[in-house]
Amino acid sequence: MPKLKILLLTLISSLILLSSLFFGQNTINPFDLRGAEKDILFSIRLPRVIVAFLMGSALGVSGAVLQGMLRNPLADPYILGISSGAALAAAFGLVTGSYLFGQLSIPFSAFFGASVVSVLVGAFGWKKGRLLPERLLLAGVGLSFLFYALLMLLISMSSYEGVRRTMLWIFGDLSLADWSLIPYGLVFIIAGMYISVCRSKALNALMLGDDLAHSLGFSAHRERLLFFISVALMTSASVSLGGTIGFIGLLVPHIVRFIIGADNRIVIPVCAVSGGAFLCGADLIGRSIAPPMEIPSGIITAVIGSPYFLYLLRKRDVLGT
Amino acid sequence: MSSEHNQTILELAGTGFRYSGNKPLIKDLTFSVGNGEFIGLLGANGSGKSTILKLAGGILKPSDGHINLWGKQLGSYSNKDRAKLLCYLPQLLDMNIPFKVGELVSMGLYPYDIPPEISVDDALALVGLLDKSGSYLANLSGGERRRAFIAMTLLQGAGLLLLDEPLANLDIKYQLEIHRLLKDLKDTKNISVIMALHDINMALQFKKVMLIKEGKILGIGEPENVLKRELLKEAFDVDIEVRKQNGGGTWLSYGESS
Amino acid sequence: MNIPGLHFLYLLVVIFLMLPASLACTEPPKRIISLAPNLTEILYAAGLGEKVVGVTAFCDKPEEAKKNPKVGGMSNPSLESIVSLNPDIVVLTTDGNLREFEERLRSLMIRTYVFKARRISELPGGIRDMGSALGEKEKANYLAREIEAGIRKFSVSLQHPVKKKVLFIIWPEPLIVAGPGTAIDEAITLLGHENIASHSVVSYPKYSIEAVIRQSPDVIFIGKGHIQIKEMSGGLLKKIASVPAVKNKKIFFLGDDLYRMGPGIVKGIGEMSACLN
């Protein structure tokens, strides 16, 4: 029964969310909030969990949308090269220690870098008035190479500390979560998600092929453009909130589809909730393994994600797909 | 041409098509499809059959001439409205579509805000796939998959089906199955079908065929009149003749190529 | 048998055998290349600045040191530049320079010296040892004694102060602090106080803000790694506003003297000591 499964997933996700709020290096008792505990909960944990949830949702939905839009089960939000642009811009800020926008300097730089790459990829992928999936993919991969090369150049020229800060950011740094950051992230992510949720029928149709989508009454090219914008918004906002955390966009849609089926009208909202919970859980683990040191969440998602990804590949092989 | 049919659904007049900068693929195409007609679009590979179907379906925009659907310009319909009236099934159906049969068929309802009266199960029953509603498309046979898509078009309720080589790569059993299914639909629901094919034998089964070469119509009409030796030679560059048997059947006789 | 001739022959042989050995031992290097900023500082502080003919791009103290030709970074110096400067010896550290590079230098018959002191307590000894290798024992000894005296001055005050909980922040966002095995940690202990990050697994851990709140440090030092470090620390300090250090305004911005294992260490300890008392 699909409704039951959805309910179960939502329940588990909520549990993970609450755990990451109250567990960690130390357990916070919600019924006994004194002084320092209250500060920790509201100034540190709550914004952090909110940011983690936002990022995870954005990545989960972006992955689902891209896999449908490009008809490629291995698509991941970073395939469009957005992460490389964000990483380069953020690295520049971290290495030089620029402080133009105050506390929000790094997130703003990252968002700027992400947006630049999104526009470039869109421009390269555009031909004769439409976005072509193959061109998008190639442009994304090509630009990734370019920007990562520039990033390596920057790293080779910087001091040890600058390099370290950059690496920590690239692997996902949720410790930068702050209430002042959340409204910006929220706006872009909600905007992107809204577009995707509204057009989820179109995404289903796109998965059948452009001609069939057209036959069902959708303009394949316009839908693809809308989805591209939606993914660009969500992914750019996500990396600016806390770095380039991988595997969520790739894996969460697969897991969700495996449990619930491929109908995007359900898959997209469920990916949002599951993706958010997944990252909250990964962050919880990263915070709790070797306290008070924090292991970046991107490493946790990679450690969980890669074996599962390899397992997925094997399974597909067995099915003969 | 279509004296027994009262309404013209689709009309192409002087239609031409070319990809920008290239030479024309379709030149001065004129024909019409009436209510309940079952037309076989016959031609060699690359003769322009797919292009004609895509033009008729609104997927490609004509460079010359016009196309009318129920009397109105095809381009003037909104996507959704057009989807309620005609439907296009491509030749290649992706095997990697992750949907279940039931999910796919229900997508036929997308053009509608208020769903029509036919249900998913009804459509599945009509194509004989009711028991496969929960199966994954990837696990069906070629013929079953094709039928699932046809069920989807039924739910879409379009009056005109444009099918691009729906019988290609299917075993003869499934070819006949689908052909019979479509004929039933035509008879019971008055649905019009234009089906592209390059198998001359199959074309003989149709009441009306359209022979195409290089985007031009060589002949429209009953198979006896259209599939003549000279025209077939021109269309397929082979010496073929349709011979009638005493029992009423027909067979193809291959001459020596010149 | 010509006995005097035999003696003479014997003398010649001995001199011939001793010559290479003496040449190797007695010539103090005249051209020194330093591949670490702290070594550059030590060399100049010991009065050997004249002999320095090449430094890294990061060697920014003292001012005169910057005038030397640059041979690259610490982990990726340019072999060509080094060789073209024709040094008599190249000095490196175990912290920041690569062992493989040192081996390459030696394989090219370039004399090297590896400075091994990584703790404050090892610093004077390390300086003396390097002085020995450079043939400048006196100057090195002088500098080493100066440093020892400076350290002694501050560790004397071990008896009376109340042990305070101290945190040294290297960078506020992301929060990176000085952990065990750092000169900073040593300095804090030397002055009789406790580094709250001393139980970390690595030397410069990315620290949890939560943990800082729970451990409630009495004094917080922030290293001046950047011009706008005060503004950059604002966000972090707001989050940890409840800890005693912030409440009692015991936040101090220190220079980067404690980052380098060199003569500046004493100044750094002095700065820290002044703030803690």
* Cross-chain residue pair A214–B57, CB shorter than 8 Å: yes
Q: Which CATH number fits domain B8-254: 2.60.40.420, 2.60.40.1180, 3.40.50.360, 3.40.50.300?
A: 3.40.50.300
- In words, the CATH class of domain C32-154 is alpha beta
Task: Provide the token pair at B143.
Answer: 């013929």
Percentage of chain C beyond pLDDT 90 is 40
Report the predicted TM-score, pTM, of the whole model to 2 decimal places.
0.84
Give the range among A186-190, A314-318, B9-13, B27-31 with minimum mean pLDDT: A314-318
Q: Alpha carbon C72 to chain centroid distance?
A: 18
Domain ranges within chain B, ordered by starting residue: 8-254
pLDDT of A216 strictly over 90: yes
Q: Alpha carbon A207 to chain centroid distance?
A: 22
Query: B122: buried, middle or exposed (CB in 10 Å: 19+, 13-18, 0-12)?
Result: middle
Task: Provide the token pair at B10.
Answer: 């689709």
Task: Provide the token pair at B106.
Answer: 């229900």
Residue B35: partners with Cβ closer than 8 Å, 6 or more residues away: B5, B6, B7, B8, B9, B159, B190, B192
More confident residue, A41 or B151: B151
Domain ranges within chain C, ordered by starting residue: 32-154, 161-276
What pLDDT band is residue A320 in, cutting at 50, 70 and 90? very low
CATH architecture for segment(s) A2-24+33-319: Orthogonal Bundle (1.10)
Dist. CA B250–CA B203, nearest whole Å: 11
Cα dist from A137 to A132, A193, B203, C255, whole Å: 9, 22, 42, 49
> Would you say how long chain B is, in residues?
258
Percentage of chain A beyond pLDDT 70 is 97
- Mean of pLDDT over chain B: 85
Provide the pairing of β-strand C194-195 with C89-93. unpaired
Provide the pairing of β-strand B216-221 with B208-213. antiparallel
Burial track C40-77 (b if 16+ CB lie within 10 A, e otherwise): bbbbbbbebbebbbbbbebbebeeebeebeebbbbeeb
Q: What is the pLDDT of residues B72-104, one digit of tens each?
A: 888 899 999 999 999 999 988 887 888 999 999
Which of A70, A128, A216 to mutate against chain B (most B CBs within 10 Å)? A216
Cα dist from B231 to B16, B41, B227, B237, whole Å: 22, 14, 6, 9
Percentage of chain A beyond pLDDT 90 is 51
For C140, the enclosing helix (H) or strand (E) is helix C137-155
Radius of gyration of chain C (CA): 24
CA-closest candidate to residue C49, choices C60, C65, C35, C63: C65
Q: What is the pLDDT of residues B137-149, one digit of tens each?
A: 888 888 888 889 9
Asked if residue A54 lies in contact with residue C238, where contact means CB atoms within 8 angstroms, the answer is no
* Cross-chain residue pair C214–A169, CB shorter than 8 Å: no
Dist. CA B66–CA C51, nearest whole Å: 91
Q: Which CATH number fits domain C161-276: 3.40.50.1000, 3.40.50.1100, 3.40.50.10860, 3.40.50.1980?
A: 3.40.50.1980
pLDDT of A199 strictly over 90: yes
Asked if residue C254 lies in contact with residue C221, where contact means CB atoms within 8 angstroms, the answer is yes
Task: Provide the token pair at A211.
Answer: 């001609």
**pLDDT, position C151:** 87
In chain C, which among 158-177 make CB contacts under 8 A with chain A?
A: 170-171, 173-176
Which of A67, A72, A214, A215 to mutate against chain B (most B CBs within 10 Å)? A215
**Beta bridge partner(s), residue C252:** C221
CA distance A185 to chain B (A): 32
Q: What is the pLDDT of residues C32-45, one digit of tens each?
A: 999 999 999 999 99
What pLDDT band is residue B2 in, cutting at 50, 70 and 90? very low
* Cross-chain residue pair A99–C231, CB shorter than 8 Å: yes
Q: Which of A71, A219, A263 is facing B103, going by the closest CB pair?
A: A263
Asked if residue B251 lies in contact with residue B245, where contact means CB atoms within 8 angstroms, the answer is yes
Residue A177 contacts B, CB cutoff 8 Å: no
Which chains would you list as touching A if contact means 3+ CB atom pairs under 8 Å?
B, C
CA-closest candidate to residue A266, choices A177, A184, A181, A203: A203
pLDDT of A172 strictly over 60: yes
3-state secondary structure labels for all residues of chain B: CCCCCCCEEEEEEEEEECCCCCCCCEEEEEEEEECCCEEEEEECCCCCHHHHHHHHHCCCCCCEEEEEECCEEHHHCCHHHHHHHEEEECCCCCCCCCCEHHHHHHHHHCCCCCCCCCCHHHHHHHHCCHHHCCCEHHHCCHHHHHHHHHHHHHHHCCCEEEEECCCCCCCHHHHHHHHHHHHHHHHHHCCEEEEEECCHHHHCCCCEEEEEECCEEEEEECHHHHCCHHHHHHHHCCCEEEEECCCCCEEEEECCCC
Asked if residue A154 lies in contact with residue A167, where contact means CB atoms within 8 angstroms, the answer is no
Tokens 């005109």 locate to B160
Residue type, B206: F
What pLDDT band is residue A293 in, cutting at 50, 70 and 90? confident
- Largest alpha-carbon pair distance within chain B? 59
More confident residue, A321 or B141: B141
